[in-house]
Structures are given as structure tokens and as C-alpha cells.
Amino acid sequence: MEPRSARQAVGAALAFRGITDAIRGERLVAEWTELVGVKIASRTRPDGIYDRVLVIDVASSAWLHELNLLRPQILAGLLERVGTPRLFDELKFRISGRGQQRPSLVRARAPARRDAPPPPVPATGLARERIIRETDAVDDAELRELIARIRIAHDR
């Protein structure tokens, strides 16, 4: 067996547990501002992925109209940044509050167990900055990015 990078080992472990799409979906929440920019992120939030459509809650009808005009550019940018395999193929914008809140961004393949822990809450603000400072001590850039991304997604 050939040696693997830490990224490959963690990726294989996540795939073995069947949670790679869930982790990638949570990245949308954790890195929403970086993915779409401050201006759009201040008026939107991802709600969930349903039948390969990323549903995004929008603050007002004016923003809904504006974002619908920018849909192709936003979709292309998100697909490029989130990577492959694709989690979604289309975007749907809707006014906030017109749907149910989902506990996880990516629809689970199997029903959740009753004793399952609550979904992780991504780190934001000072907690996110602290995690980034702490992971700066890791020499390997690939491993550093992976550790930071997972810690931010799970606020640890």
C-alpha cells in the first residue's frame, strides 16, 4: 500500500462514513461570505440542497430580483469554488421565511437516528479567527487548510 497524504486519508475516512457531501455542504455555510462576497452574504444564506438545487434565502424582494439577474455568474462562481463532484446544478432564490429550516445543508441519504447528535455549528467571527491562528502552526499547507476547514465547520 502506498503512503497517502493527510488530505487523502481524512477524505477516505469521511467517504467511508458516508459524510463527504455533508461536510462539503456545511462548507457552504461556514464559508458563505468568502464564496459569494460580503455584499451578497449580508443579504442571503444557504438553506439547503434539494434535488440538486441550492436554495438560498434572500432578505427582500429587491435582492431576490437582483440575484436572479446575477444567477449565472453566482452559480458559476460557487461551482468553481466548491469543486467536484458537484453538490448542486442550479440555484433557487426565495424570500427568507418561506420554507422550513433544515438541520443539515445536504439532504441525508438515510433517515437520521433519534439519538444522533445535533448538526455542527460553524465557527464565525473571533472563534473562526482563533482556529485559523492555531492551525497556522501546521507546516504542511494542504493539511493546515484541511484541519482549519473541518474545525471551522464543526466549531472546535
Summarised one tens digit per residue, pLDDT across range 27-60 is 787 888 898 999 999 999 998 888 889 999 999 9
Question: Does 67 share its domain with 140?
Answer: no
Q: Provide the domain limits for residue 104.
A: 11-109
Same domain, 65 and 130: no
Residue 4 lies in a domain: no
Looking at the fold, whether 49 and 71 belong to one and the same domain comes out as yes
Kindly report, residue by residue over 110-128, the tens digit of the pLDDT: 444 555 566 667 777 888 8
Indicate if 104 and 124 belong to the same structural domain: no
Distance CA 132, CA 87 (A): 26
Task: Report pLDDT for 138.
Answer: 85
Report whether 123 contacts 151 (CB < 8 A).
yes
**Pair 153, 134 in one domain:** yes
pLDDT band at 109 (very low <50, low <70, confident <90, very high): very low
CATH number of the domain encompassing residue 36: 3.30.300.20
Same domain, yes or no, for 77 and 140? no
pLDDT (average), residues 77-100: 83
Q: Is residue 62 part of a domain?
A: yes
Query: How many angstroms separate the CA atoms of 56 and 138, rounded?
Result: 35
pLDDT of 17 > 70? The answer is: no
Q: State whether residue 150 is helix, strand or coil.
A: helix
Domain tally for the chain? 2
Determine the pLDDT at residue 62.
92
Question: Does a structural domain hold residue 115?
Answer: no
CB 48 within 8 A of CB 75: no
59 within domain boundaries: yes
Strand order in the sheet with 53-58: 44-50, 53-58, 90-95
In this structure, the answer to whether residues 73 and 92 fall within a common structural domain is yes
Pick 108 or 42 by higher pLDDT: 42
99 and 131 inside one domain: no
Q: Helices in the chain by DSSP H: which ranges?
A: 6-17, 20-30, 32-36, 38-41, 61-82, 125-135, 141-154
Whether pTM > 0.75 for this model: the answer is no
